[in-house]
Amino acid sequence: MSTTNTIVLRPRFKFHVMHDHETLLKLFEDKKTTQSDFVVSRIDDHVFIRIPKDKQHFWSPQLHLEINKEFEKEGSVIYGLFGPNPTVWTMFMFFHFIVAGLFIAFGIWAYVNWSLGDSFTLQLFFTLFAVVIWFALYFGGRLGKKTGMNEMHQLHHFMRDTLRSEGIHAEG
């Protein structure tokens, strides 16, 4: 699971197993009470695996598994998504939308001033500054992903070990 050299801030994976999806969901639901290293919760066909609150930091990831019945062949498909706490992700996206809105607004203002023959230096500066902030947000997200990398591996190993404890392996 290489996630260091990709541009993706929320790594994903998908694999097929030869077991019924309800069996898999029950397996993860049972882990809720038999271990305390991770917080496991289930909503319908979704399983969320988190680091306990007392061990979390700002960039702590969570693993979201969606376990679906395979319709074309026997078994199930497991979709995985690593991401930060939903509150952190929402805040992060909010900042991106604010910066995008400012970029567009200052860009339009700069264009209007340019087309009217007025000075547009200040507007152009803020437009370019928005690009710098975008890059800062991106690299901040990369830093956060790198900070949570060890925990991502722990979550992935927990998922893998939970499946292997019942002899369940990914199909090629």
Residues of the chain with pLDDT under 50: 1-5
Sign of the alpha-carbon torsion through 79, 80, 81, 85: positive
Q: What is the pTM of this model?
A: 0.78
Average pLDDT, the chain: 90
Q: Collapsing DSSP states into helix, strand and coil, what is residue 74?
A: coil
**Which CATH superfamily, name and number, covers 12-84+151-164?**
Kinase associated domain 1, KA1 (3.30.310.80)
C-alpha 62/C-alpha 136 separation (Å) is 23
d(CA 121, CA 123): 6
Report the greatest alpha carbon distance in the chain: 72
Three-state DSSP class for residue 72: coil
- Residue 44, sorted as left (phi over 0), alpha (psi -120 to 50) or beta, turns out to be left
Task: Say how far apart CA 169 and CA 93 lie, in whole Å.
Answer: 35
Q: Which residue ranges make up each domain of the chain?
A: 12-84+151-164, 89-142
Q: Do the Cβ atoms of 63 and 10 come closer than 8 Å?
A: no
Query: Which pLDDT belongs to residue 72?
Result: 78
Expressed in angstroms, the distance from the first to the final Cα of the chain is 15
DSSP E strands in the chain: the ranges are: 12-17, 39-43, 46-50, 61-69, 76-84
